[in-house]
A and B are shown apart, each in its own frame.
Chain A
């Protein structure tokens, strides 16, 4: 269950980060993400998602958009043919399926809402988080940060691809069971003054 908040956090970072190019270590990579996020109050972006699941033979490809507003409200919409909307407020996650007009409410585990992560990221990062291994590399202007949780279940590896000017291109999540989710970002806009209207599920 820890994978969902981590994924959402990376989605937020992925579109929010701007940073100068410099030699990259895992710690520097994380700090780069943190600083890019620091001056931002909200953002909106378009996404393309590709999911390869063990349950399916075909790849699930969909497009959509994401929105975020401080302190901890996140919205994600996937368009047809798989329409769904997701809203995360504090530790409450609600998913709405427009075709069925049905809602699903899911409380996140204790201490794993976005608020906990943002509290961690409020200060400069001086050490790597516990329970994960990190690896960073750079090829030309393309940087990659790989995060590997040490647990045997859930997420096997998170990969963050970004340019040396700090612009995030893609996030890839691979799970222990072989499922793979790749999200590509475009048209990111920061500090646009998002209102409650933009976070409505219906």
Chain B
């Protein structure tokens, strides 16, 4: 029954190909009209498609670490900031930073300020008054801002001696020239209680490892200074981002120190230019190489010129059709359409090679075309579907990268195949009519005759060598690692990337970090749960597993600590009158108590418990120059409070899994993210999707092969080079220090799809015993060799791009294709001969 079904399918394919041959030969105008009919909607699809550049959009981000990571970028706005790194001698850095900050502040895009805010000093003198206002509030709320350890100092400062001492110090400050700046601080905090609070504020606002003695964002070695700016519009507005980058380049022109930039805007613009440049240069150069190879082999101009038309149809129709269903396509997925250059050429090579060979043997034009389309074309048909099907199977994936590339390449392969079927025959007939006396000289053998002879003569040795090679490379392949770091997939020479690396190298507190998010609608409840997460983090810090952690809890006490502090303050102050004492001390030291009315009132209420304390504290902190600390640690979004704690660690010494388990127990519902966690989530997601897609694709390919071949030898001949080639690819990657990553793992599908063609064509053509078998191997082998070369030229050339993701794809393709071609052309004939296949003699 199954055999009959497959026979029916084979017959249907033959009838289909015969129809194509007939239509393309007899009605070329209809072919042209049909092509136009398809190209018009495709044009609409292409023009309405938007390209994406953000690498995170390639992966599912509905939940898990990636969701929290992306959300936190949006909540805190840190994903939108631009970072400027100034490098040079310390003496030159500060004047240059002053000048550059002034230029950035004055920078305009479309007549409006380019930046909402430019921060280049740890404290802006213009914010002194609002800072003083916060301090005068905070020092009268010890239950919110102090710890029990601070109580002794507080109590001492409230004694008459302590007050006198602090007021003498205040008078000294006022007498000096700095007194003008500290007048408001002293009015709000005459007893210098800010000394108890400022270290906590400093600790929580410490996001970078800076020279603490400098008022600038200066590295400890004094050679690097950072300026942070918040662009006026979001990064998604690419037109604004491009103008902003142009304006920034103008502002830094002529600077006395080196200024480089990082951040979403710059990265988006530079990455866009870098990726487009890479892809375009890769496509153009590989197209030229492919055409060169084709022309060098066949010495025919018109068929050579048809190849770009076929490739264009394949790529344009696939992009256009995909564009009808998708609003945007990621640039990395689009880069995979470069595969069509190689694949689209393959079908032309196989069919044209057969046509050429028939014509060289004296066969009449139409008959030669019929053989090429319906006989070799049948093998090409199966080969194209075994290529397209694994790619199309990727569309079941929920990973956007896999879905898009599968759709684009799968459709592109099929459109290229049909473009070849329909366009090649009319063009060849036209060529024959235009050049009726053209001579079909024998085609170059490329040493394939020697390979055939050698493979049969040394079949035993070649088989052993092949087995040894596979075992050796399999051993190497088992040691291949997985690269989960997305940064390694970005452009290697991108200014944004290099600048980011400099910041990490010189200014990061530690190489790795985690973010814990505690969420809820009630701020006090969120702070209480956050305090438990903080306590856990502190235990890990004390054990040396964490380098540091920061949280809003370091500044504002949670409800439990507030209650504890209120109790302790009541006991410590014990009905005394610190406000009255302060009034006397002020008068004694020559101050005017009337100017200290808010401070006197605040001191009188020190031990009182006040409701809504934390909410008011957050409000006051947000209105101060320290609002950045709040923005980094607390967000209210859609009515939900999100308390974010940041944990810094070095690496292995931090037992992350144990921490996550303990956190889940102590703070149920807390979410965690970090670059490592995101990497793990992505790799797990890709692995799962990829596994299912590969399984489905393999099953469908198997069905196609079973329906195509009537003997297991054909299936073996098709699959052996693929599996051996896949092992060799992984082994060579491991031996050359490469790792599997999110991108190059997709090359496995490419190898499965394309590599199976090689064995299939060899077996399909040279699997028939007879006196012409050697010549048939040479003809099929030549087509396979040329296909491999054009694939390497078309896709493997990505190896030389600057974009890490594409480069790794290019190298993996080169290894896989070279190995698969080798096993198809050298090992396969020897293996088939060795096992005594009656059809290999």
Cross-chain contact A109 with B215 (CB below 8 angstroms): no
Cross-chain contact A51 with B175 (CB below 8 angstroms): yes
Q: Mark A161-176, 1 if CB is under 8 A from B, else 0.
A: 0000000000000010
Contact of B178 (CB < 8 Å), options: A81, A91, A106, A115: A106
Cross-chain contact A55 with B187 (CB below 8 angstroms): yes
Cross-chain contact B94 with A92 (CB below 8 angstroms): yes
Please judge, given known A-B contacts A107-B123, A111-B98, whether A55 and B176 are in contact too, CB under 8 Å: no
Query: Is B10's CB within 8 Å of the partner chain A?
Result: no
> For the complex, what is the distance from the CA of A55 to the CA of B214, rounded to whole Å?
30
List residues of chain B with CB within 8 A of the CB of A91. 94-95, 98
> For the complex, what is the distance from the CA of A185 to the CA of B587, rounded to whole Å?
31
**Segment of B165-173, B307-315, B347-355 in the binding face:** B165-173
Cross-chain contact B591 with A57 (CB below 8 angstroms): yes
Please judge, given known A-B contacts A1-B125, A84-B173, A95-B178, whether A110 and B101 are in contact too, CB under 8 Å: yes
Contact of A53 (CB < 8 Å), options: B128, B183, B215: B183
List the B residue with the shortest CB-CB distance to A107.
Answer: B215
Q: Mark B589-615, 1 if CB is under 8 A from A, else 0.
A: 011100110000000000000000000
Interface contacts beyond A57-B590, A84-B173: sample of 12 additional A-B pairs, CB < 8 Å, sorted by A: A1-B125, A3-B180, A4-B180, A55-B591, A55-B595, A56-B174, A56-B592, A86-B177, A103-B213, A106-B125, A111-B98, A115-B95
Cross-chain contact A51 with B179 (CB below 8 angstroms): yes
Query: Is A105's CB within 8 Å of the partner chain B?
Result: yes
Cross-chain contact A111 with B175 (CB below 8 angstroms): no
> For the complex, what is the distance from the CA of A49 to the CA of B397, rounded to whole Å?
79
Cross-chain contact B176 with A109 (CB below 8 angstroms): no
Cross-chain contact A113 with B177 (CB below 8 angstroms): no
> For the complex, what is the distance from the CA of A97 to the CA of B178, rounded to whole Å?
11
Cross-chain contact B175 with A78 (CB below 8 angstroms): yes
Cross-chain contact A97 with B94 (CB below 8 angstroms): no
Shortest distance from the beta carbon of A15 to any chain B beta carbon, whole Å: 15
Shortest distance from the beta carbon of A159 to any chain B beta carbon, whole Å: 17
Cross-chain contact A97 with B172 (CB below 8 angstroms): yes
List residues of chain B with CB within 8 A of the CB of A53. 174, 179, 183
Q: Mark A125-163, 1 if CB is under 8 A from B, else 0.
A: 000000000000000000000000000000000000000
Cross-chain contact B169 with A100 (CB below 8 angstroms): yes
Contact of B102 (CB < 8 Å), options: A56, A103, A106, A110: A110
Cross-chain contact A60 with B174 (CB below 8 angstroms): yes
> For the complex, what is the distance from the CA of A58 to the CA of B591, rounded to whole Å?
7
List the A residue with the shortest CB-CB distance to B91.
Answer: A90
Please judge, given known A-B contacts A54-B595, A55-B174, A84-B172, whether A110 and B105 are in contact too, CB under 8 Å: yes
Shortest distance from the beta carbon of A45 to any chain B beta carbon, whole Å: 15
> For the complex, what is the distance from the CA of A7 to the CA of B179, rounded to whole Å?
13
List residues of chain A with CB within 8 A of the CB of B178. 84, 86, 93, 95, 104, 106
List the A residue with the shortest CB-CB distance to B590.
Answer: A58
Most buried by B among A1, A55, A107, A115: A55
Q: Mark B196-227, 1 if CB is under 8 A from A, else 0.
A: 00000000000000000111100000000000
Shortest distance from the beta carbon of A175 to any chain B beta carbon, whole Å: 8
Please judge, given known A-B contacts A53-B174, A99-B172, whether A4 and B94 are in contact too, CB under 8 Å: no
Cross-chain contact A1 with B591 (CB below 8 angstroms): no
List residues of chain A with CB within 8 A of the CB of B590. 56-58
Cross-chain contact A107 with B592 (CB below 8 angstroms): no
Shortest distance from the beta carbon of A194 to any chain B beta carbon, whole Å: 19
Cross-chain contact B95 with A90 (CB below 8 angstroms): yes
Shortest distance from the beta carbon of B385 to any chain A beta carbon, whole Å: 67
Cross-chain contact A84 with B175 (CB below 8 angstroms): yes
Contact of B175 (CB < 8 Å), options: A49, A115, A175, A179: A49
Query: Is A62's CB within 8 Å of the partner chain B?
Result: yes
Contact of B214 (CB < 8 Å), options: A1, A4, A93, A105: A105
**What is the interface of chain A mostly: helix, strand, loop, or mixed?**
mixed
Cross-chain contact B176 with A82 (CB below 8 angstroms): yes
Query: Is B368's CB within 8 Å of the partner chain A?
Result: no
List residues of chain A with CB within 8 A of the CB of B123. 106-107
List residues of chain B with CB within 8 A of the CB of A56. 171, 174, 590-592
Contact of B125 (CB < 8 Å), options: A57, A81, A109: A109
Shortest distance from the beta carbon of B587 to any chain A beta carbon, whole Å: 8
Query: Is A108's CB within 8 Å of the partner chain B?
Result: yes
Cross-chain contact A108 with B125 (CB below 8 angstroms): yes
List the A residue with the shortest CB-CB distance to B182.
Answer: A104
List residues of chain A with CB within 8 A of the CB of B180. 3-4, 175, 179
> For the complex, what is the distance from the CA of A82 to the CA of B178, rounded to whole Å?
12
Shortest distance from the beta carbon of B215 to any chain A beta carbon, whole Å: 4
Shortest distance from the beta carbon of B136 to any chain A beta carbon, whole Å: 13
Query: Is A76's CB within 8 Å of the partner chain B?
Result: yes
List residues of chain B with CB within 8 A of the CB of A3. 180
A positions within 8 Å CB-CB of B: 1, 3-4, 7-8, 49, 51, 53-58, 60, 62, 76, 78, 81-84, 86, 90-93, 95, 97, 99-100, 103-111, 113, 115, 175, 179
Shortest distance from the beta carbon of A56 to any chain B beta carbon, whole Å: 5
List residues of chain A with CB within 8 A of the CB of B101. 110
Cross-chain contact B174 with A1 (CB below 8 angstroms): no
Please judge, given known A-B contacts A1-B126, A111-B98, whether A106 and B215 are in contact too, CB under 8 Å: yes
> For the complex, what is the distance from the CA of A55 to the CA of B215, rounded to whole Å?
28
Most buried by B among A7, A82, A92, A108: A82
Most buried by A among B123, B126, B178, B216: B178
List the A residue with the shortest CB-CB distance to B195.
Answer: A102
Shortest distance from the beta carbon of A97 to any chain B beta carbon, whole Å: 6
Cross-chain contact A54 with B592 (CB below 8 angstroms): yes
14 contacts between A and B (CB under 8 A): A3-B180, A7-B177, A56-B174, A56-B592, A57-B591, A60-B174, A82-B171, A95-B178, A97-B172, A97-B176, A105-B214, A106-B181, A108-B125, A179-B183
List residues of chain B with CB within 8 A of the CB of A100. 169
List the A residue with the shortest CB-CB distance to B213.
Answer: A105
Shortest distance from the beta carbon of B779 to any chain A beta carbon, whole Å: 76
Cross-chain contact B125 with A51 (CB below 8 angstroms): no
Query: Is B194's CB within 8 Å of the partner chain A?
Result: no
Cross-chain contact A111 with B102 (CB below 8 angstroms): yes
List residues of chain A with CB within 8 A of the CB of B419. none
Q: Nearest 8 pairs between A and B by C-beta? A: A82-B175, A58-B590, A84-B176, A95-B178, A107-B215, A82-B172, A1-B125, A110-B102
> For the complex, what is the distance from the CA of A108 to the CA of B181, rounded to whole Å?
11
Q: Mark B510-536, 1 if CB is under 8 A from A, else 0.
A: 000000000000000000000000000
List the B residue with the shortest CB-CB distance to A60.
Answer: B175
List residues of chain A with CB within 8 A of the CB of B95. 90-91, 115
> For the complex, what is the distance from the CA of A55 to the CA of B592, rounded to whole Å?
5
> For the complex, what is the distance from the CA of A81 to the CA of B587, rounded to whole Å?
18
List residues of chain B with CB within 8 A of the CB of A106. 123, 125, 178, 181, 215
Most buried by A among B171, B177, B181, B183: B177
List residues of chain A with CB within 8 A of the CB of B22. none
> For the complex, what is the distance from the CA of A94 to the CA of B181, rounded to whole Å?
12
Cross-chain contact B172 with A110 (CB below 8 angstroms): no
Query: Is B157's CB within 8 Å of the partner chain A?
Result: no
List the B residue with the shortest CB-CB distance to A50.
Answer: B175
List residues of chain B with CB within 8 A of the CB of A107. 121, 123, 125, 215-216
Query: Is B186's CB within 8 Å of the partner chain A?
Result: yes
> For the complex, what is the distance from the CA of A113 to the CA of B592, rounded to whole Å?
33
Shortest distance from the beta carbon of A188 to any chain B beta carbon, whole Å: 19
List residues of chain A with CB within 8 A of the CB of B105. 110
List residues of chain B with CB within 8 A of the CB of A86. 176-178
> For the complex, what is the distance from the CA of A107 to the CA of B183, rounded to whole Å?
17
List residues of chain A with CB within 8 A of the CB of B177. 4, 7-8, 76, 86, 95
Most buried by B among A56, A58, A103: A56
In the complex, chain B residues 89-145 whose Cβ is within 8 Å of any chain A Cβ: 94-95, 98, 101-102, 105, 121, 123, 125-126, 128
List the B residue with the shortest CB-CB distance to A59.
Answer: B590
